[in-house]
């Protein structure tokens, strides 16, 4: 008997079967068991803090596989994924072209610790796409990139102090865990033990989107500031775009006070536009850090900028930085394939904008119908729904969000098969694999989830 014949012949059995499928849909037994085991041998049971799901009041789910816009956990629950490995999966999970590139690279070996032609091709493509980058050095992570670029800025300017912004996250090196965003903000630990006071003294903080606060820091530390480092679109206190004139103002202040401007585009690079946020907003930094998308899903990072600055990096110059696995052939193969696809097809960003706008419109309609106070911030395929009626433009306004409401929303969405970042203060991402019907399904699920708040 065919499925349709069965449903017509036995309507009651059909309803029972549907109920069983729904009951079976969201189970966490295997994930819970894995988490209990992990906590005995891994600090907190995870290898990066936000993954622990502490801020949303539940144990984490353990992912088994992924494809296109979907992920599956160890309990066989299927989710529409809006995390995308925290940004790299712009083309969706397990993109066929990227997988082919990795398979071909694996056949030749996994690591050489020596130069390869693919590193040169990767550098050529990055410098072609991002005008401010004349030379680039590959590293293994975003943290390694930002750590290295700060050392370079200090070496080039012969100054020690840097300015960062409250709520902006630039990795976990000592210089940056001062009023940091991301997991530090999520877990309520804005400053980390283990950072020497001498290092902390050289990290000055200003308010994001507030040029007056930046000028004040410069004037109070004349001739001591090597650089400003900023996420041109903040993504680690949630998605917080720059207000009009902010990035241009930073460029002017750096020129005035003889400091370098560093854009941390680990998240925004090739995400918000083909040339990153600097192309989108028309502001050219002196140095740029990259990561995530340029690895095609594999671990990678990079920093680059003006030739006169980059030539200080060893062995060309005296600023030392090295890495055994830098330029890893698998990461280069995946990243080069990713960038080549993006560079060849500019329509990708138009498609991402259409899908993202569709989701934003649907979520706003649902929130307005239910009379819930909210702020929805979005730039391209990056977005955050904040549970606050206040406009979110900086660290302080982001903290006005009702994290309890977010937790309720997150859990309700998860149980309906929608996987969002497990923190109010993280950015969600859309990929080209999020088709129209997937977005519509998400919008419908969000209405049900918002009703529980």
The predicted-structure confidence for 253-272, as pLDDT tens digits, reads as follows: 999 999 999 999 999 999 99
* Domain of residue 9, residue span: 3-93+347-450
Could you say which of 344, 370, 387 is where a domain stops? 344
pLDDT at residue 200 is higher than 80:
no
Q: Quick one: pLDDT at residue 176?
A: 77
**338 and 391 housed in the same domain:** no
**239 and 271 housed in the same domain:** yes
- State what percent of residues in the chain have pLDDT above 90: 87
**357 and 335 housed in the same domain:** no
Q: Quick one: pLDDT at residue 193?
A: 75
pLDDT at residue 184 is higher than 90:
no
Say which CATH number the domain at 321 has.
Answer: 3.40.640.10
Q: Quick one: pLDDT at residue 190?
A: 46
Question: Please, which pLDDT band fits residue 8 given cuts at 50, 70 and 90?
Answer: low
**36 and 120 housed in the same domain:** no
Q: Quick one: pLDDT at residue 426?
A: 96
Question: Exactly one of 79, 169, 395, 419 is catalytic; which is it?
Answer: 169
How much is the mean pLDDT over the chain? 92
pLDDT at residue 15 is higher than 60:
no
**247 and 366 housed in the same domain:** no
Angle, in degrees to the nearest 10, between helices 329-344 and 117-129? 30
Question: Exactly one of 54, 159, 292, 405 is catalytic; which is it?
Answer: 292
**329 and 199 housed in the same domain:** yes
- How deeply is 23 buried, as exposed, middle or buried, from its count of CB atoms within 10 A (0-12, 13-18, 19+)? exposed
Q: Assess whether 10 carries a catalytic annotation.
A: no
**65 and 204 housed in the same domain:** no
Q: What is the mean pLDDT of residues 320-326?
A: 96
pLDDT at residue 181 is higher than 50:
no
Q: Assess whether 169 carries a catalytic annotation.
A: yes
**75 and 107 housed in the same domain:** no
Q: Quick one: pLDDT at residue 186?
A: 44
Cα(453)–Cα(177) distance, integer angstroms: 33
Q: Which of 145-154, 171-180, 353-362, 422-431 has the lowest mean pLDDT?
A: 171-180
Candidates 168, 202, 162; CA nearest to 185 is 168
Structural domains of the chain, count: 2
For 345-391, the pLDDT digits (tens) are 989 999 999 999 999 999 999 999 999 999 999 999 999 999 999 99
pLDDT at residue 178 is higher than 70:
no
Other CB atoms within 10 Å distance of the CB of residue 193: 6
pTM of the full predicted structure? 0.92
Q: What is the mean pLDDT of residues 429-436?
A: 98
Question: Exactly one of 73, 81, 210, 264 is catalytic; which is it?
Answer: 264
Q: Which residue has the higher pLDDT, 138 or 182?
A: 138
Q: Quick one: pLDDT at residue 201?
A: 85
Cα(99)–Cα(36) distance, integer angstroms: 33
């Amino acid at each position: 008997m065919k499925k349709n014949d069965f449903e017509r012949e036995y309507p009651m059995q059909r309803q029972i079967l549907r109920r069983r499928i729904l009951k079976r849909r969201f189970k966490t037994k295997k994930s819970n068991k894995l988490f209990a085991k992990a906590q005995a041998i891994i600090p907190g049971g995870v290898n990066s803090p936000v993954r622990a799901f502490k801020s949303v009041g539940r144990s984490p789910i353990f992912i088994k596989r992924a494809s296109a816009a979907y992920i599956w956990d160890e309990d066989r629950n299927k989710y529409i994924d809006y995390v995308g490995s925290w940004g790299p999966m712009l083309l969706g999970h397990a993109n066929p072209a990227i997988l082919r590139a990795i398979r071909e690279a694996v056949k030749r070996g996994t690591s050489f610790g020596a130069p390869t032609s693919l590193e040169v091709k990767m550098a050529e493509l990055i410098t072609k796409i991002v005008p401010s980058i004349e030379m680039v050095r590959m590293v293994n992570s975003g943290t390694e990139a930002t750590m290295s670029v700060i050392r370079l800025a200090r070496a080039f300017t012969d100054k020690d102090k840097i300015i960062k912004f409250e709520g902006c996250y630039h990795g976990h090196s000592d210089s940056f865990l001062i009023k940091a965003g991301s997991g530090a903000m999520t877990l309520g630990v804005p400053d980390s033990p283990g950072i020497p006071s001498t290092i902390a003294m050289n990290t000055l903080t200003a308010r994001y989107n507030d040029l007056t606060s930046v000028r004040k820091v410069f004037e109070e530390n004349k001739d001591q500031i090597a650089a400003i480092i900023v996420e041109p679109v903040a993504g680690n206190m949630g998605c917080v775009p720059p207000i009009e004139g902010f990035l241009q103002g930073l460029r002017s202040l750096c020129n005035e006070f003889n400091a370098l401007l560093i854009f941390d585009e680990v998240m925004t690079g090739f995400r918000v536009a083909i040339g990153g946020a600097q192309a989108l907003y028309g502001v050219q930094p002196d140095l740029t850090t990259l990561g995530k998308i340029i690895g095609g899903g594999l671990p990678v990072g990079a920093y680059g900028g003006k030739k006169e600055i980059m030539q200080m990096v060893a062995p060309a110059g005296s600023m030392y930085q090295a890495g055994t696995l830098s330029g890893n052939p698998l990461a280069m193969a995946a990243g080069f394939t990713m960038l080549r696809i993006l560079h060849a097809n500019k329509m990708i960003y138009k498609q991402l904008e259409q899908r993202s706008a569709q989701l934003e419109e649907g979520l706003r309609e649902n929130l307005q119908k239910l009379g819930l106070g909210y702020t929805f911030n979005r730039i391209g395929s990056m977005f955050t729904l904040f549970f606050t009626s206040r406009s979110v433009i900086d660290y302080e306004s982001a903290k006005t969000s009702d994290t309890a409401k977010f937790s309720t929303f997150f859990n309700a969405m998860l149980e309906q098969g929608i996987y969002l970042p497990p923190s109010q203060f993280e950015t969600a991402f859309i990929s080209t694999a999020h088709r129209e019907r997937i977005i519509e399904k998400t919008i419908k699920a969000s209405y049900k989830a918002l009703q529980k708040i």
